[in-house]
Amino acid sequence: MKRYIIVWLGLLVIVALEVAVTLSHPPAGWLLAGLLVLALIEAGLALLYFMHLKYERRSLMWSVILAVMIAVILMDHFWLDAFRLLHQRLSAP
Amino acid sequence: MAEVTAVHEPSPFGITSRKLGIWMFIVADAATFAAMLFAYGYMRVANPDWTRPFAFWPTIANGIVMTVVLLTSSLTIIAAVLAAQTGRKTTALRWLGATMLLGTLFAALHLREWIAMLGDGWRLFRNPLGGTPLVGATFFSVTGLHLLHVVAGVIVIAVIALGYRRGRFEPGHLETVGLYWHFVDLVWMFVFPLIYLMNMR
């Protein structure tokens, strides 16, 4: 149980860091990057320890992670269109 | 007459079918939430008149409390699974009860926030601050889907706890529902920074 309490405390520290980073009011791009990195670390800790992926066979761990990663990578093609719309509006009279 | 024996191939992942089933659900549900968060990002980038509606007090402060409550509920369900695996049935049931209480508290805090926003004039397609109405659409749909998962989780934990108390379910069932509950927590780890913190004034 001690190990899980340490992970839980670590997760609380990450949440505090997320709030601190937001309150320092960095530019939106930097804020997004910082928050995503912290969220990914948080998710990694939850997956490995709370959801026990660290103690399962590697085949399960990689099947789960790769399936979600492929889905997320494929969704990235939307950004081109989002930025096209943004620039289209900005240049409108 | 020839004797017929069934041949079972061992699982390539070394886990039970029940556990594999919940992992497959988690992968599919993770893609669903990823799609919703991508849609939110798409609409946000494509709309220069996006408004940031949240002040630190009360919305972000409420969000921090909700996050701590949900993270703590992950710890209590681990305590329940560990107790069940070592045969301490009463302790396991108490920890399951604590998890349900925390889940219900999370839902109550969330609904209180929704009610306050609705009181301020926010709707699924109405922004009282005058910017794009998509702010409310993405907020209510993403947090609503997550809230639905929390409420469903509390109900499923209650069903599993009752079955476990009556001896119909075993510690493996608690572990399976625990995986689902951790996933609900994991999704919130992305919802809180992207939907709340990124929209702080």
Which residues between 19 and 48 in chain B have a beta carbon less than 8 angstroms from any beta carbon of chain A?
A: 23, 26-27, 30-31, 34-35, 38, 41-43, 45-48
Task: Work out the percent of chain B whose per-residue pLDDT is above 90.
Answer: 82
Task: With a cut of 50, list the residues of chain B below it in pLDDT.
Answer: none
pLDDT in tens, A63-88: 999 999 999 999 998 888 888 888 88
**Per-residue model confidence (pLDDT) at position A62:** 92
Nearest Cα to Cα of residue B27 among A41, A45, A71, A40: A71
Q: Which residues, other chains included, contact B36 with Cβ-Cβ below 8 Å and sequence gap of 6+?
A: B141, B142, B145
**Per-residue model confidence (pLDDT) at position A93:** 47
Q: B67 at the A interface (CB within 8 A)?
A: yes
**Per-residue model confidence (pLDDT) at position B1:** 58
Q: Return the residue of B nearest to A89 by Cα.
A: B48
**Per-residue model confidence (pLDDT) at position B26:** 96
Amino acid code (one letter) for A39 = A
- Interface pTM, i.e. ipTM: 0.92
pLDDT category at A92 given cuts 50, 70, 90 is very low
Give the three-class secondary structure for B119.
helix
Chain length of chain A: 93
| Cα dihedral value B136, B108, B27, B78, nearest 10 | 150
Q: Is the pLDDT higher at A59 or at B147?
A: B147
For the cut 90, the answer to whether the pLDDT of residue A15 exceeds it is yes
**Per-residue model confidence (pLDDT) at position A91:** 53
**Per-residue model confidence (pLDDT) at position A83:** 87
Task: Work out the percent of chain A whose per-residue pLDDT is above 70.
Answer: 96
**Per-residue model confidence (pLDDT) at position B2:** 63
The pTM score is 0.92
The C-alpha of B16 sits at a distance from chain A's nearest C-alpha, in angstroms, of 12
Rounded Cα–Cα distance for residues A11 and B103 (Å):
18
Note the maximum CA span of chain B.
Answer: 81
